[in-house]
């Protein structure tokens, strides 16, 4: 047994001589707890919903008031906020376009004759169209609207002692949509990030450590040629991995992107691939610029782990952004993965065109440009 103790002592001693390793064993799970816990614990708040109002009167305005004031509370924090953010839309067609572009999560259609029917004590039906490509939000929004209608019903019943029923017809805008489909785009981005860390950054640190980069510098290769070569290779590797996952998701998991099924839409597929390309270049450049600072691959790898977790958990890949507490929303705003996942979802499931993702492309484009410049500067100074 003395031998076992000696072996144990060696391992423990070595472990504590590598503070980075010690920290990383705590930081990773802690980040998961805080970020994932906060995301999943949070109620959906300020979910944008479109109201198409075709009837005006005390009942409809009362109903909208109830919706507007409905509160949902974040778990663990006594902080109740409005569930919905109401957007008035003139007609159903416009509302449906907005839903496709991901601008609203649901359409509430208050039909013509709503107020007259209620005053005549007849039954009415409100049609709610849910964007079920975000199944978690849809699951919260639907019942929220049903609850509002019940509140209105009981108000009418107590005041008029009459019995009219307000029915809510919940419709999903897309065919049955699985949570796993919601999660898939984030996985493609995750694979790009993995490649950026493992095949991109580590390669740079290893090459630096082994003197390969110095070997480049005694040849006529220019520094910018070296960094651009490194970035392009990273993009090739990341795209292979992301596209492989795209097909695995379709073939194995059963993800059914609108851009591929039932009829392949070339524009949709092209824009999806362009999103993956832009994301790859941006993330590879970011991790390359970061990696140049390190002299050993171990420390680089361990320290990039929390970056990866933070970006993944705050990008809305596994839980909708509407459910995030404010501080996490703030992180998600500057997180490039947020825009990548957003664009991919719209392109894959909503059949959205360029217009709907232009904003995402703009952010990703600026981010990628900055990161490429940063990696060029970091490379010039760090080597």
Query: By the criterion CB under 8 A, which residues form the site for another protein?
Result: 210-212, 214-221
Shortest reach from residue 218's CB to another protein, in Å: 4
Q: Other C-beta atoms within 10 Å of 71: how many?
A: 10
Q: State the minimum distance, in angstroms, from the CB of residue 226 to another protein.
A: 10
What's phi and psi for 113, nearest 5 deg? 85, 5
Quote the CA–CA distance of 187 and 36 in Å, as a whole number: 16
Q: Quick check: 35 and 309 in contact, CB under 8 A? A: yes
Residue 118 structure tokens: 């209620």
Q: In this complex, which beta carbon is closest to another protein, that of residue 6 or of residue 221?
A: 221
Inter-axis angle of helices 297-313 and 266-291, nearest 10:
140
User: In terms of CB distance, is 78 or 218 closer to another protein?
Assistant: 218
Buried b (16+ CB within 10 A) or exposed e, 202-218: bbbbebbeeeebeebee
Our CB check for another protein shows the closer of 14 and 210 to be: 210
Q: Which is nearer to another protein, 10 or 210 (CB)?
A: 210
> What's the sign of the alpha-carbon dihedral 187, 170, 268, 335?
negative
User: Minimum Å distance from CB 224 to another protein?
Assistant: 14
Would you state the structure tokens that stand for residue 233, as one six-digit string?
Answer: 């290779």
CB of 50 to another protein, least distance (A): 56
Residue 242 Cβ vs another protein, minimum distance, rounded to whole Å: 23
Residue closer to another protein, measured from CB, 331 or 383: 383
In our burial notation (b when 16+ CB lie closer than 10 A, e otherwise), range 36-54 reads: bebbeebbbbebbbbbbbe
Q: 33 or 221: whose CB is closer to another protein?
A: 221
CB closer to another protein out of 100 and 237: 237
Task: Report the alpha-carbon distance of residue 128 to residue 143 in Å, rounded.
Answer: 11
The order of strands in the sheet holding 47-53 is 84-88, 47-53, 106-110, 124-130, 166-172
CB of 214 to another protein, least distance (A): 6
Give the DSSP H/E element, type plus range, for residue 145. helix 135-160
Half-sphere exposure of 114 (CA within 13 A, CB side): 27
In the complex, least distance from residue 207 CB atom to another protein, rounded to whole angstroms = 9
Q: Which is nearer to another protein, 297 or 309 (CB)?
A: 297
Residues 6+ apart with CB under 8 A from 268: 257, 258, 259, 260, 347, 348, 351
Considering the complex, what minimum distance in angstroms separates the CB of residue 373 from another protein?
Answer: 23
Shortest reach from residue 237's CB to another protein, in Å: 14
Q: In the complex with another protein, which residue's Cβ is closer, 237 or 342?
A: 237
Which whole-number Å values give the CA distances from 74 to 17, 34, 82, 180, in the listed order? 41, 14, 11, 24
| Backbone torsion region of residue 42, taken as left when φ is above 0, otherwise alpha when ψ lies between -120 and 50, otherwise beta | beta
């Amino acid at each position: 047994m003395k031998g076992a103790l000696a072996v144990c002592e060696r391992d423990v001693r070595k472990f504590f001589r590598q503070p980075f390793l010690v920290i990383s064993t705590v930081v990773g799970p802690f980040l998961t707890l805080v970020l994932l816990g906060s995301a999943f614990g949070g109620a959906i708040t300020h979910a944008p919903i479109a109201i198409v109002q075709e009837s005006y009167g005390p009942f409809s305005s009362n109903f909208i008031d109830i919706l507007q004031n409905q509160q949902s509370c974040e778990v663990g924090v006594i902080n109740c906020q409005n569930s919905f953010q109401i957007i008035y839309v003139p007609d159903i067609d416009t509302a449906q376009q907005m839903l496709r572009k991901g601008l609203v999560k649901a359409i509430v259609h208050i039909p013509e004759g709503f107020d007259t029917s209620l005053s005549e004590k007849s039954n009415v039906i409100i049609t709610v169209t849910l964007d079920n490509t975000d199944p978690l939000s849809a699951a919260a929004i639907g019942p929220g609207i049903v609850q509002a209608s019940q509140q209105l019903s009981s108000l009418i019943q107590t005041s008029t002692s009459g019995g009219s029923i307000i029915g809510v017809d919940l419709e999903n805008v897309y065919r049955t949509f699985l949570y796993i489909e919601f999660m898939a785009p984030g996985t493609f981005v995750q694979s790009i990030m993995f490649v950026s860390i493992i095949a991109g950054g580590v390669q740079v640190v290893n090459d630096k450590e082994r003197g390969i980069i110095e070997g480049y510098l005694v040849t006529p290769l220019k520094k910018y040629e070296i960094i651009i070569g490194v970035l392009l290779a990273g993009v090739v590797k990341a795209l292979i991995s992301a596209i492989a996952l795209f097909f695995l998701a379709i073939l194995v998991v059963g993800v059914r992107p609108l851009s591929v099924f039932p009829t392949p839409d070339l524009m949709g597929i092209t824009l999806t691939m362009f999103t993956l390309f832009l994301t790859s270049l941006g993330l590879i450049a970011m991790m390359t610029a970061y990696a140049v600072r390190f002299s050993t691959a171990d420390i680089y790898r361990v320290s990039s782990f929390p970056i990866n977790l933070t970006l993944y958990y705050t990008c809305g890949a596994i839980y909708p952004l509407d459910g995030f507490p404010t501080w996490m929303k703030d992180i998600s705003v500057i997180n490039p993965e947020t825009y990548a996942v957003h664009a991919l979802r719209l392109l894959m499931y909503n059949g959205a065109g360029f217009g709907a993702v232009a904003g995402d492309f703009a952010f990703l484009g600026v981010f990628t440009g900055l990161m490429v410049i940063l990696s060029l500067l970091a490379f010039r100074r760090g080597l």
